[in-house]
Chains A and B, each alone.
Chain A
Amino acid sequence: IVLTQSPGTLSLSPGERATLSCRASQTLSSSYLAWYQQKPGQAPRLLIYGASNRATGIPDRFIGGGSGTDFTLTIYRLEPEDFAVYYCHQCGNSFTFGGGTKVEIK
């Protein structure tokens, strides 16, 4: 399964809302879709699993949704620490990652 993330880069200001897209090349059970955040020089961190479940300690401004082939990660009211690269990931048919969306400060 190929995951295509868009846009490649999102330029926003703190306080704004970010909407990230992840499209799968074939239908994927929501159970098998996750999102990770990666900051420069750091390992990825699990944000969302099962398409819409927040991982432990993840603030409620991170909302995951979608089904079938189209999934989204929405970050409400961007905080300075949210500027990072975000990857979607499927674990239903082997494992693949999307190419990533960089959320940068405008």
Chain B
Amino acid sequence: QVHLVESGGGVVQPGRSLRLSCAASGFTFSSYVMNWVRQAPGKGLEWVAVISFDGSEKHYADSVRGRFTISRDNSKNTVSLQMNSLRAEDTAVYYCAKGSVSYTGGYFDYWGQGTLVTVSS
């Protein structure tokens, strides 16, 4: 069955960087888009970034564009989120979510359990 496991979360100071990873299994990873979605404590869901099946197309939420970079390694079945210039408002649980299609778009049919990122001095 589909399994997504995020890692890399932790406590980081404002302005610093952090890299999240998501290991995928149970499906043909190289055929589907992958997304990152975050949820601030006690708040709703916010889509962060998406990458197409082959990594050729990437899109970002306005709130993170220019600071975050999504990437994938289809040989290792992993998707990553490089987060730079972190701010307090980036504090959230970050979820990796599988898309239902190959190119950007589609709903999110499987989710990981999430990894908590806390930005604090």
- Which of A37-63 touch B at CB < 8 Å? 38, 42-46, 49, 55
Q: Report whether A43 and B114 are in contact in the complex, using a CB–CB cutoff of 8 Å.
A: yes
A67, chain B: closest CB distance, angstroms: 17
Q: Report whether A49 and B44 are in contact in the complex, using a CB–CB cutoff of 8 Å.
A: no
Q: Report whether B113 and A34 are in contact in the complex, using a CB–CB cutoff of 8 Å.
A: no
Q: Report whether A96 and B111 are in contact in the complex, using a CB–CB cutoff of 8 Å.
A: no
Q: Which residues of A contact B95 (CB under 8 A)?
A: 43-44
A87 at the interface (CB under 8 A from B): yes
What does the 1/0 interface line of B44-80 toward A look like (CB < 8 Å)?
Answer: 1111001000000001000000000000000000000
How many residues of B are counted as interface, with CB atoms below 8 angstroms from the partner's CB atoms? 20
- Which of A53-106 touch B at CB < 8 Å? 55, 87, 89, 91-92, 94-100
CB contact between B107 and one of A42, A43, A91, A96 (< 8 Å): that residue: A91
Contacts from A to B (Cβ < 8 Å): 32, 34, 36, 38, 42-46, 49, 55, 87, 89, 91-92, 94-100
Contacts from B to A (Cβ < 8 Å): 35, 37, 44-47, 50, 59, 95, 100, 105-114
A34-B108, A44-B37, A95-B50 known, 16 other contacts, Cβ within 8 Å: A32-B105, A36-B108, A43-B95, A43-B112, A43-B113, A43-B114, A44-B108, A45-B111, A46-B109, A49-B100, A55-B109, A94-B47, A95-B35, A97-B45, A97-B46, A100-B45
